[in-house]
A and B are shown apart, each in its own frame.
Chain A
């Protein structure tokens, strides 16, 4: 007895072009309502769209990064429906001839690499934004209308919430690597709808597909899939089926609720938009774009393993984002031990960033500063622990490690002469501990060393202190 979850995703991604897809209005998130508009994106009578080639190029870039075939030519189609934020009564989109087809994204599952198919990627324009006021009015901001979008449609190859999450993370990383989108779900530049159903693997019985909307984070996607999985299975167990419907995720109550019935299929009355002339996509252009693609996450990961002899785990974490990988590589240019750099970046640096909900770009210090800090440690000038303190200070102030170490007098004391007096003093004051240690209580040694470190405010070279304390005790 078993059930298999079948999930397909539809992901809308806003492209980071300077201008909108059919006019010269600026493509920028925010701004005062209805200030980034013109007759074209407002859909005023008589205005004619003009396809932004840059948007097409971004679409092709994404297609190539996702291993798609690129169409030899494109046309744009009108997709008709009525909604206040849709200024023309139709959205200019692509119907039967999408820009990209038949690609995939790989995710790592227990059995190894799994390919999630990408059926198509097509270009379209974003709509305006409806704002529902407390007074019950609906206002529309058309700043977003005409922002170029790609819609990525996956094959139903995803079989769990975890796979969906991994897929989305990889997809987002790739899109950010190739710099076609900032993929900020909170700003709506990446939006994801889910199609899900469940099949009983013994009887072959399937539930009807449910469409899920209003998923505002990857976590919401995963939670909604898990919720629906349970709902579909419990219906199957009762011998029932799900309704063909669209449901929305309610984040507060952690459940999905019916949004609309999908009993009758949508009829968008697609028709070619003859104002947008068909564009032939020359092979040379595709090659040019392909050549301009940066190293993609999985390629970078492999290189990190080879070039820096990093464990696979480290390489994976460090290539999560282009900026993080860049920071790591830049630090390595000045540092000697790639694994040590990896430990510090993955450890203290990332932990702190996560705690503060910051991005690597927000760091106040430079990669070279981190490398310098490590050099202080490796040269024995400061201890590892002092190094961590210095790093915390670098986070706060952005000051150079050298300046912090000097200012706070943190240079490690490795001078035996200087340490000798301090150690003798500690031993004099802790005679009982000396006796305990001599009687075989190893823990007493740790206490004595701790007292020495305390007396030096942590600056004493721990290895040296260790060695000297033993020697002095022996001599007593």
Chain B
């Protein structure tokens, strides 16, 4: 039996039934990482020692007949912008290359409390600020399906690790598609929960009003399992909420008979890779067959998504990056004669190009009269976009869109054509702007490359998108196993 081929659910079951030990599971996955990660570069930090200790504790519990958590023995990767106590958290930046935090993010506490085993910290675009994982100070992560291509981003390390069976589950974060776009590019499931469903305490912010922690798995059930563990109110994050209702896992099998499904006309008419469009349209038909009612709807403000998102995201980035000043922690330049020089050189040397672009743009927007006018307008348009979705969700349960308008691009191409890269998140952005939940689920391959379907649901209606994704996954029986490594 190749342990790394097991699903998360299977691992838990076999560990609890003493078919395999937690330690065996960890070792098998660590070996897999050792075997592959030199090439893939999905991990920035591997926490071998801590993982083995955690596995021993789980095995000890089993030996003593103690009850076990929902994630017992499951190896998990954590995006390196999620704070881990005593384990360095770099955010993919030279700025935090040696930063070792003194606390755990709430999601980490919850994973540990449920006996999940963290194998390491995964690569990402610097501070999660791009779409290809190429802007990491720790080098580019390669797509396990085609190592000449990017895994997408910013959670590319997590999606590559899950796809390559280095871990069974992973955490990511999603500000404008950073969970869904790389999940699509790597042919796995990526969930972007409703803003407020999961505590952000300990997620290093890129843009606080858009960021959410999300989950990855090679199938819907696995990704849902991890979501179920991390969701819920946290007193440390006042924007988090407790949602009443039964477990998502129990609802997955309910099916989608009678589900009202919307297909946004404007999205499908946009410029996109015809192969992606073709695959998505095929998939939409499957939903009809599965008993859903699909209708075209209008989401008219699509041409304003990018500008609105950009104005908000760079403004919040410029504010959030202000704390990295070389004073209390993080990178400090070696040579400086004055306080100003300490700031300027530390920040110039510590930040990468992509994040600097955002800081400059955001500083201009917040610091100039013209910029502020744009900024305020962006907030008004954001409200309009929310209203577009509210209107659709009055009548429909879910919205289907391609996760991305394109297929995974080649490493280096984004530098030649940054707009193609930015454009890859266009269908993802509105769920962040409107605080909705969404999932990317694989819907097939074209020319050897994966296509993801995005299913968007109303705020706190995760059950709807998970049910729909699960029904599709069952029907397609892809299981995430038919391609790649």
Give the residues in chain B near A82, CB-CB below 8 Å.
322, 325, 343
Report whether B101 and A80 are in contact in the complex, using a CB–CB cutoff of 8 Å: no
In the complex, whether A68 has a CB less than 8 A from a CB of chain B is no
Q: What is the minimal beta-carbon distance from B432 to any residue of chain A, in angstroms?
A: 13
Give the residues in chain A near B96, CB-CB below 8 Å.
45
What is the CA–CA distance of A270 and B367 in the complex, to the nearest angstrom? 8
Contact of A44 among B102, B235, B325 (CB under 8 A): B102
Report whether A274 and B208 are in contact in the complex, using a CB–CB cutoff of 8 Å: yes
Q: What is the minimal beta-carbon distance from A45 to any residue of chain B, in angstroms?
A: 4
Report whether A269 and B238 are in contact in the complex, using a CB–CB cutoff of 8 Å: no
In the complex, whether B383 has a CB less than 8 A from a CB of chain A is no
Give the residues in chain B near A277, CB-CB below 8 Å.
238-239
In the complex, whether B236 has a CB less than 8 A from a CB of chain A is yes
Q: How large is the interface on B (under 10, 10 to 19, 20 to 34, 35 or more residues)?
A: 35 or more
Give the residues in chain A near B89, CB-CB below 8 Å.
45
Report whether B202 and A87 are in contact in the complex, using a CB–CB cutoff of 8 Å: no
Q: What is the minimal beta-carbon distance from B345 to any residue of chain A, in angstroms?
A: 13
In the complex, whether A304 has a CB less than 8 A from a CB of chain B is no
* In the complex, residue of chain B having the shortest beta-carbon distance to the beta carbon of A81: B322
* In the complex, residue of chain A having the shortest beta-carbon distance to the beta carbon of B101: A44
Q: What is the minimal beta-carbon distance from B353 to any residue of chain A, in angstroms?
A: 20
Give the residues in chain B near A80, CB-CB below 8 Å.
319, 322, 366
Give the residues in chain A near B83, CB-CB below 8 Å.
44-46
Report whether A84 and B201 are in contact in the complex, using a CB–CB cutoff of 8 Å: no
Q: What is the minimal beta-carbon distance from A440 to any residue of chain B, in angstroms?
A: 86
What is the CA–CA distance of A140 and B101 in the complex, to the nearest angstrom? 19
In the complex, whether B103 has a CB less than 8 A from a CB of chain A is yes
Q: Render A271-313 as a binary contact track against B, CB cut-off 8 A, 1 for contact.
A: 1011111000000000000000000000000000000000000
Contact of B238 among A50, A89, A90, A267 (CB under 8 A): A50
Report whether A48 and B238 are in contact in the complex, using a CB–CB cutoff of 8 Å: yes
Contact of A39 among B103, B200, B209, B322 (CB under 8 A): B103
Give the residues in chain B near A271, CB-CB below 8 Å.
315-316, 319, 366, 375
Given A39-B103, A50-B236, check contact A87 B366 (CB 8 Å): no
**For residues 82 through 111 of chain B, which have their beta carbon under 8 Å from a beta carbon of chain A?**
82-83, 89, 91, 96, 99, 101-103, 105
Report whether B238 and A276 are in contact in the complex, using a CB–CB cutoff of 8 Å: yes
* In the complex, residue of chain A having the shortest beta-carbon distance to the beta carbon of B127: A45
Give the residues in chain A near B239, CB-CB below 8 Å.
48, 274-275, 277
In the complex, whether B339 has a CB less than 8 A from a CB of chain A is yes
**For residues 61 through 99 of chain B, which have their beta carbon under 8 Å from a beta carbon of chain A?**
82-83, 89, 91, 96, 99
In the complex, whether B439 has a CB less than 8 A from a CB of chain A is no
Given A42-B328, A89-B325, A269-B367, check contact A48 B319 (CB 8 Å): no
Contact of A78 among B236, B319, B327, B343 (CB under 8 A): B319
What is the CA–CA distance of A80 and B201 in the complex, to the nearest angstrom? 22
Report whether A45 and B91 are in contact in the complex, using a CB–CB cutoff of 8 Å: yes
What is the CA–CA distance of A39 and B106 in the complex, to the nearest angstrom? 13
What is the CA–CA distance of A85 and B375 in the complex, to the nearest angstrom? 29
Q: Render A249-277 as a binary contact track against B, CB cut-off 8 A, 1 for contact.
A: 00000000000000000010111011111
Give the residues in chain B near A269, CB-CB below 8 Å.
318-319, 363, 366-367
What is the CA–CA distance of A140 and B316 in the complex, to the nearest angstrom? 27
**For residues 81 through 107 of chain A, which have their beta carbon under 8 Å from a beta carbon of chain B?**
82, 84, 87-90
What is the CA–CA distance of A89 and B347 in the complex, to the nearest angstrom? 12
In the complex, whether A109 has a CB less than 8 A from a CB of chain B is no
Report whether B238 and A45 are in contact in the complex, using a CB–CB cutoff of 8 Å: no
Q: What is the minimal beta-carbon distance from B311 to any residue of chain A, in angstroms?
A: 11
What is the CA–CA distance of A247 and B432 in the complex, to the nearest angstrom? 47
Report whether A84 and B363 are in contact in the complex, using a CB–CB cutoff of 8 Å: no
In the complex, whether A166 has a CB less than 8 A from a CB of chain B is no
In the complex, whether A455 has a CB less than 8 A from a CB of chain B is no
Q: Render B181-215 as a binary contact track against A, CB cut-off 8 A, 1 for contact.
A: 00000000000000000001111110011000000
* In the complex, residue of chain A having the shortest beta-carbon distance to the beta carbon of B240: A48
28 residue pairs from A and B, CB less than 8 Å apart: A39-B102, A43-B323, A44-B101, A44-B103, A44-B329, A45-B83, A46-B82, A46-B101, A46-B105, A46-B202, A48-B200, A48-B236, A82-B322, A87-B323, A88-B323, A89-B319, A89-B321, A89-B325, A90-B319, A140-B328, A269-B318, A271-B319, A271-B366, A271-B375, A273-B208, A274-B239, A275-B208, A275-B238
Interface residues of A, Cβ cutoff 8 Å to B: 39, 42-48, 50-51, 78, 80, 82, 84, 87-90, 140, 267, 269-271, 273-277
Excluding A46-B101, A271-B315, A276-B238, 13 further A-B contacts by CB distance (< 8 Å) are A39-B101, A43-B328, A47-B103, A82-B325, A82-B343, A84-B339, A88-B323, A89-B319, A89-B322, A140-B327, A271-B316, A275-B238, A277-B238
